[in-house]
C-alpha cells in the first residue's frame, strides 16, 4: 500500500469524495494528521450485474434465520465509527471521525448497525457515492454481529444496482464472503463505471 508521502492537518467531506473518485482514500495517524493511500492490488466484493452472490456460511445462515439481531441504518453513526476506532492501533483519528460524521449528515456516509436487547452489538460504516460503496471499518461486541451487517450491506447494494463495493485491502473476514483482489488498472476501470452512474443507498 502506497501513500502520498505528505501529512495533512485537515480533512473535509468534499476531499474524501474527490479522493474516492480518484481511487485513493485517507487514513489517519496518531498525531491527528491524515495521508492519502492507494492499494494495489485492490480488494473488492463483486456486486455488479456479473457478480456472484455473497458467500454465507452454514453457521451464519443459522444466525440470520434466528433473527438474533435487529438491523438498523444510520441511527448511531458516530457511535459506530468511534467503536471502530476504539482499538489498540487505529487509523481512525479525530480528523477521520469528524469528516465522516459530516459525510453522514450530508447523506453520503452510512452505518449499518446490529442491535441486541437495546444494545449496539456490532456495526460497519462506509460511504455511498454515485455507483460505489467504499467500505471503511467494522466492529463487533457479540459474535456474528458485524457479519450480519455485511450481509445486509450486500443486499442493499445489490437491490439498488451498485457497481462497486470497495473494501480496499483483503481481510480473512471478507475473503470468507467471496471478496477478490484485482489489479490497479482493473479497479480504476470499474471505478470509472461506478462514477458514471447515480445510485440510491436505501433499504
CA–CA separation, 134 and 170 (whole Å): 13
Q: pLDDT digits over 135-148, tens only?
A: 999 999 999 999 99
Q: What is the DSSP letter of 8?
A: B
CATH number for the domain formed by residue range(s) 40-194: 3.40.630.70
The structure's pTM equals 0.94
Q: pLDDT digits over 32-73, tens only?
A: 999 999 999 999 999 866 556 888 989 899 989 888 899 999
CA–CA separation, 141 and 16 (whole Å): 28
Cell of 138: 467494522
Amino acid at each position: 500500500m502506497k501513500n502520498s508521502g505528505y501529512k495533512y492537518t485537515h480533512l473535509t467531506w468534499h476531499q474524501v469524495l474527490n479522493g474516492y473518485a480518484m481511487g485513493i482514500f485517507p487514513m489517519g495517524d496518531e498525531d491527528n494528521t491524515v495521508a492519502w493511500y492507494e492499494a494495489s492490488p485492490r480488494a473488492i466484493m463483486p456486486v455488479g450485474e456479473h457478480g456472484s452472490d455473497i458467500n454465507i456460511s452454514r453457521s451464519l445462515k443459522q444466525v440470520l434465520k434466528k433473527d438474533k439481531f435487529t438491523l438498523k441504518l444510520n441511527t448511531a453513526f458516530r457511535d459506530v465509527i468511534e467503536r471502530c476506532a476504539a482499538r489498540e492501533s487505529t487509523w481512525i483519528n479525530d480528523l477521520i471521525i469528524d469528516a465522516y460524521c459530516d459525510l453522514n449528515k450530508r447523506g453520503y456516509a452510512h452505518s449499518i448497525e446490529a442491535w441486541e436487547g437495546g444494545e449496539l452489538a456490532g456495526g460497519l460504516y462506509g460511504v455511498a457515492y454515485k455507483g460505489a460503496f467504499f467500505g471503511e471499518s467494522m466492529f463487533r461486541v457479540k459474535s456474528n454481529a458485524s457479519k450480519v451487517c455485511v450481509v445486509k450491506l450486500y443486499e442493499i447494494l445489490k437491490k439498488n444496482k451498485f457497481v462497486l463495493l470497495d473494501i480496499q485491502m483483503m481481510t480473512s473476514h471478507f475473503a470468507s464472503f467471496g471478496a477478490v483482489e484485482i489489479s490497479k488498472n482493473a479497479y480504476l476501470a470499474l471505478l470509472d463505471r461506478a462514477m458514471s452512474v447515480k445510485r440510491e443507498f436505501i433499504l
